């Protein structure tokens, strides 16, 4: 070879890597992590075909694609999710990571190698993994009023999601539930926008961390925008019939705080606002959310919500995308979506500017997550799932979520040494029940093999090994003499519209169980497991103490920590607690607001009411075939049979003229019995007022005027 060619060859061989670098720099700026996110977004957008852009805007469920994953490559699918009921039989952490990585591998075989983003509902810990740490549902976290703790719980959740490689969590739910008939009441923090703002932002902070690039940080998704908790009669996915000022006052502030916290995505809601479905509302999704509030992340529609906009899917897509939906949670019909979108773009019914805006929003988050550099699961994180450290934080969340509603002197805390404790109830030893919905499956389940955790009974036995703790779900004990009887009852798991209900009375079998156990003449401590306040007037009189434990999750020993007084109760109600179904909806600030227990109520000390302080009225009930009224107080009372007393009883708002004889109830010196000459019926509205008279507690404190109080029939 002559000198010239040799020279050329050498020079060229030097130039090639340089050229390659320049070319790489020039050719694929979007693959250069040193380039700014905006540069990378603009660069890749320029390179994308319409098909690739449309692909980025769709999200399919893994069950729709797992048998033909190459369609991820073929249709440039930008996102995969596993919906609540998308069964994934082997739900170990490593298998979830295998599924994630499999899906991702097909996305990386596309021409531009744009990674997909995988979303999941991890709404009280990573509730999809067997053995994950499960926290109290948001209603309980709302009662903690502890934003730092809520952030910590979300941080742990982010770590236990990251172990699977999944990058996106459809949380926080910042619904502001205004009607506890709603089956999703427990997914919200409580009935005020303040809780949605403060605790929603805390959860976003915990999930997203300081920079999304951190391998354990997860893209958050504030949901469901907007007004999901305000539907008439609490109907899930119903119609929120409110003037805009109320939407803006109650349901919007959570999103303002979420945007301030740089939430990466927001999920549009199924519900309508005054008849207009939010998923198709340009006003709410673009004019308000994006333009007025400046949201720069992306908006994802809810599960098949676009299909429900109208009768024609192509029209639905046109409406939803032009309204401001950036990513469509299909979750199955990706061919229909693909073909319809191609036509809509060709027919210019969706402007390319809208497509480019949506794709840019999605890609920006993928670049910020570092997905192009680290698209696969970091297996080293697996060991963190369900760790003792994580469970300890969840246990603290349980403790701080409990609300002590009632406590008669001496009923709590439970003694440990040498105590005999009877435990009864369907929810005392049932991990599934205490976790509620969104637990391994969409609707949750029953039993202790549902995942790894500690039931309330197990927690009690661990906390007091020297106590004799006997359990009978039905409350049947050969020897009923004990220091205490603890009854754990409540709601069975439900999710979404399965939990919509017009009957929130504590189930009759639970009421009968509590009455039965009360007859054993031990102090009765009732622990309620529920996704909302329940109508409990029927048990008030038979309970010496009542704790609202909500849906505590996997760490039931947080309940025993408080029962035994190792920790004091600190929880404050995040929902108003109604006396009856007729009072619902009832929210703080309502006119004539008179719930059984107010928003923000909670007894935060175990101290018995000090001696010689006035006894407090706790509950009343009509007994003795309608001729007796029992009044129970928080401490023992002196015999009143010789006392001159002045009580007034009304029947249907009219005072009744009857002689009233008073006495102490046999076997229960905290209860005064009013014996009447007139018979009252269960149909009557009955109240009692105590004006004056020589009625004292046994430690000599005068009973003060109280009432009128409702008499429970
Ligand atoms: C459900 C819920 C939503 C959830 C989504 C994906 O229908 O409305 O909260 O994130 O589908 O499972």
* pLDDT of 90: 82
- CB atoms under 10 Å from CB of 490, counted, come to 24
* pLDDT of 4: 53
608 or 411: which leads in pLDDT? 411
Per residue in 74-130, pLDDT (tens digit) is 999 999 999 988 877 689 999 999 999 999 999 999 999 999 999 999 999 999 999
Long-range contacts of 26-31 (CB under 8 A, 24+ apart): 30/112, 30/367, 30/372, 31/113, 31/372
Model confidence at 458: pLDDT above 90: yes
Average pLDDT over residues 48-68: 97
* pLDDT of 23: 47
The one catalytic residue among 236, 368, 429, 496? 496
* Ligand 1 atom 1: residue of nearest CA: 303
Residue 454's DSSP bridge partners are 555
Give, in words, the CATH class of 617-710.
mainly beta
Nearest to 199 by CA among 173, 227, 180, 232: 173
Per residue in 337-382, pLDDT (tens digit) is 999 999 999 999 999 999 999 999 999 999 999 999 999 999 999 9
- CB atoms under 10 Å from CB of 343, counted, come to 14
| CA of 320 relative to ligand 1 center, distance in Å | 17
Q: What is the mean pLDDT of the chain?
A: 95
Burial class (CB in 10 A: 0-12, 13-18, 19+), 17: exposed
146-150, 490-494, 576-580, 675-679: which range is least confident on average? 675-679
Model confidence at 318: pLDDT above 60: yes
* pLDDT of 647: 94
18-27, 340-349, 440-449, 636-645: which range is least confident on average? 18-27
Enumerate residues lining ligand 1, CB below 6 A: 83-84, 121, 170, 223, 302-303
| CA of 516 relative to ligand 1 center, distance in Å | 41
Same fold, 402-583 and 617-710: no
* pLDDT of 6: 54
Average pLDDT over residues 416-443: 97
Model confidence at 652: pLDDT above 60: yes
Q: Where are the alpha helices (DSSP H) in 169-233?
A: 193-208
Q: Take residue 218 and report the two structure tokens written for it.
A: 């997860």
The one catalytic residue among 187, 302, 316, 561? 302
Model confidence at 11: pLDDT above 80: no
Model confidence at 713: pLDDT above 80: yes
DSSP states along 603-623: ----PPPPTTS---EEEEEEE
3-12, 426-435, 615-624: which range is least confident on average? 3-12
Q: pLDDT band for 640, please (50, 70, 90 cuts).
A: confident
Mutate to test the pocket of ligand 1, among 79, 83, 119, 225 (most ligand atoms within 8 A of CB): 83
| CA of 172 relative to ligand 1 center, distance in Å | 12
Per residue in 223-258, pLDDT (tens digit) is 999 999 999 999 999 999 999 999 999 999 999 999
Is 400 catalytic? The answer is no
Q: Take residue 318 and report the two structure tokens written for it.
A: 């046109």
Kind plus residue range of the DSSP H or E element containing 355: helix 352-368
* pLDDT of 24: 45
Model confidence at 452: pLDDT above 50: yes
21-25, 190-194, 315-319, 335-339: which range is least confident on average? 21-25
* pLDDT of 247: 98
User: How is domain 402-583 classified at the CATH fold level?
Assistant: Rossmann fold (3.40.50)
CB 173 within 8 A of CB 223: yes
Measured at the CA of 652, the angle between CA 648 and CA 656, to 5 degrees, comes to 35
Per residue in 657-682, pLDDT (tens digit) is 888 999 999 888 999 999 999 999 99
CATH superfamily of 3-384: Glycoside hydrolase, family 3, N-terminal domain (3.20.20.300)
**In 219-248, which positions are buried (b, 16+ CB within 10 angstroms) versus exposed (e)?**
bbbbbbbbbbbbbeebbbbbbbebeeeebe
Measured at the CA of 108, the angle between CA 102 and CA 112, to 5 degrees, comes to 165
Strongest mean pLDDT among 82-91, 288-297, 625-634, 700-709: 288-297
| CA of 329 relative to ligand 1 center, distance in Å | 9
* Ligand 1 atom 11: residue of nearest CA: 303
Structural domain boundaries in the chain:
3-384, 402-583, 617-710
Q: Model pTM? A: 0.93
Average pLDDT over residues 688-702: 92
Average pLDDT over residues 534-552: 97
């Amino acid at each position: 070879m002559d000198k010239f060619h040799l020279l050329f060859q050498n020079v060229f061989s030097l130039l090639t890597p340089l050229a390659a670098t320049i070319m790489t720099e020039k050719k694929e700026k979007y693959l250069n992590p040193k380039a700014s996110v905006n540069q990378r977004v603009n660069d890749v957008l320029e390179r994308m075909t319409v098909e690739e852009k449309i692909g980025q805007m769709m999200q399919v469920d893994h069950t729709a694609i797992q048998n033909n994953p190459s369609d991820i490559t073929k249709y440039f699918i930008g996102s995969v999710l596993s919906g609540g009921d998308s069964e994934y039989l082997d739900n170990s952490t490593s298998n979830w990571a295998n599924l994630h990585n499999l899906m991702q591998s097909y996305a990386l075989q596309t021409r531009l190698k744009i990674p997909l983003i995988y979303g999941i509902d991890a709404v009280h810990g990573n509730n999809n993994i067997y053995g994950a740490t499960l926290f109290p549902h948001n209603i309980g976290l709302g009662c903690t009023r502890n934003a730092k703790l809520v952030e910590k719980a979300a941080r742990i959740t982010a770590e236990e999601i990251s172990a699977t490689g999944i990058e996106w969590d459809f949380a926080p739910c910042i619904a502001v539930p205004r009607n506890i008939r709603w089956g999703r009441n427990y997914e919200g923090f409580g009935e005020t926008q303040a809780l949605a703002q403060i605790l929603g932002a805390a959860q976003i902070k915990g999930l997203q961390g300081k920079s999304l690039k951190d391998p354990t940080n997860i893209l958050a998704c504030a949901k469901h925008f907007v007004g999901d908790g305000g539907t008439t009669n609490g109907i899930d996915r119903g119609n929120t019939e409110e003037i805009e000022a109320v939407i803006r006052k109650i349901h919007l502030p959570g999103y303002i705080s979420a945007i301030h916290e740089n939430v990466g995505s927001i999920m549009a809601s199924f519900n309508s606002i005054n008849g207009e479905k939010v998923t198709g509302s340009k006003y709410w999704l673009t004019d308000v959310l994006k333009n007025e509030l400046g949201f720069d992340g992306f908006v994802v529609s809810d599960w098949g919500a676009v299909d429900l906009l109208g009768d024609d899917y192509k029209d639905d897509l046109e409406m939803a995308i032009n309204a401001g939906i950036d990513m469509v949670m299909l979750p199955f019909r990706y061919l229909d979506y693909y073909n319809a979108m191609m036509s809509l773009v060709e027919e210019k019914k969706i402007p390319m500017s809208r497509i480019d805006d949506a794709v840019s929003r999605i890609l920006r988050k993928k670049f910020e997550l570092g997905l192009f550099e680290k698209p696969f699961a970091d297996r080293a994180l697996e060991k963190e799932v369900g760790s003792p450290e994580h469970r300890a934080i969840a246990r603290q969340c349980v403790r701080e979520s409990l609300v002590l509603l009632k406590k008669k002197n001496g009923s709590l805390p439970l003694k440990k040494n040498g105590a005999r404790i009877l435990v009864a109830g369907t929810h005392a030893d049932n991990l599934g029940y205490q976790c509620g919905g969104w637990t391994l499956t969409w609707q949750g389940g029953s039993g202790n093999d549902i995942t790894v955790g500690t039931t309330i009974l197990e927690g009690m036995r661990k906390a007091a090994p020297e106590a004799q703790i006997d359990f009978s779900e039905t409350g049947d004990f050969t020897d009923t003499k004990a220091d205490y009887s603890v009854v754990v009852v409540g709601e069975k798991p439900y999710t979404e519209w399965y939990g919509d209900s017009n009957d929130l009375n504590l189930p009759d079998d639970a009421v009968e169980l509590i009455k039965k156990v009360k007859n054993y003449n031990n102090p009765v401590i009732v622990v309620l497991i529920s996704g909302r306040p329940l109508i409990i007037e029927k048990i008030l009189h038979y309970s010496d103490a009542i704790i609202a434990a909500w849906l505590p999750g996997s760490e039931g020993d947080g309940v025993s920590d408080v029962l035994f007084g190792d920790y004091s109760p600190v929880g404050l109600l995040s929902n108003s607690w109604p006396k009856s179904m007729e009072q619902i909806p009832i929210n703080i600030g309502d006119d004539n607001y008179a719930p059984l227990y107010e928003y923000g109520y909670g007894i935060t000390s175990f101290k018995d009411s000090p001696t010689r302080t006035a006894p407090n009225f706790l509950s009343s009930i009509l007994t003795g075939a309608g001729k007796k009224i029992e009044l129970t107080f928080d401490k023992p009372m002196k015999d009143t049979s010789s006392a001159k007393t002045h009580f007034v009883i009304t029947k249907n708002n009219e005072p009744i003229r009857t002689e009233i004889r008073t006495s102490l109830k046999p076997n229960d010196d905290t209860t005064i019995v009013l014996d009447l000459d007139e018979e009252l019926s269960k149909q009557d509205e009955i109240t009692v007022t105590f004006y004056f008279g020589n009625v004292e507690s046994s430690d000599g404190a005068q009973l003060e005027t109280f009432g009128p109080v409702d008499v429970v029939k």
